[in-house]
Amino acid sequence: MVTGTSVIGVTFDKGVMLAADTLGSYGSLARFKSVSRMKKVTDNCAVAASGDYADFQYMERLFENLTYDPLTSTVIALMTCDGPCAMLS
């Protein structure tokens, strides 16, 4: 089980800034050095997560299915973050 990381989100007058480290731990061993914990969902929405990496990978797949239509091979544009945020609540 790959776990651990630090994630921070800061809001300011023109937007939001997300930051996360890239270290993935396997137990007490710092095993993986470049694990991405942030995902751009749309032009207006991004998510970042800490904890079990498998949960983050599952969430990534949910968002990919939400924003990509395999039948038409097109990207579905979401205007707000309401949809993705509702999925995570």
Q: Which residues pair with 42 in a beta bridge?
A: 45
Q: For residue 30, what is the domain's CATH number? A: 3.60.20.10
Q: Which residues contact 81 (CB under 8 A, 6 or more apart)?
A: 41, 42, 44, 45
Residue in 48, 26, 25 with CA at minimum distance from that of residue 36: 48
Number of domains the chain is built from: 1
- The pTM score is 0.66
> In the predicted model, is pLDDT for residue 63 greater than 70?
yes
Domain hosting residue 16, numbered range: 2-88
Q: What are phi and psi of 4, to 5 degrees?
A: 80, 140
Encode pLDDT of 9-59 as tens digits.
899 998 889 988 887 787 777 777 788 888 887 777 788 888 888 888 888
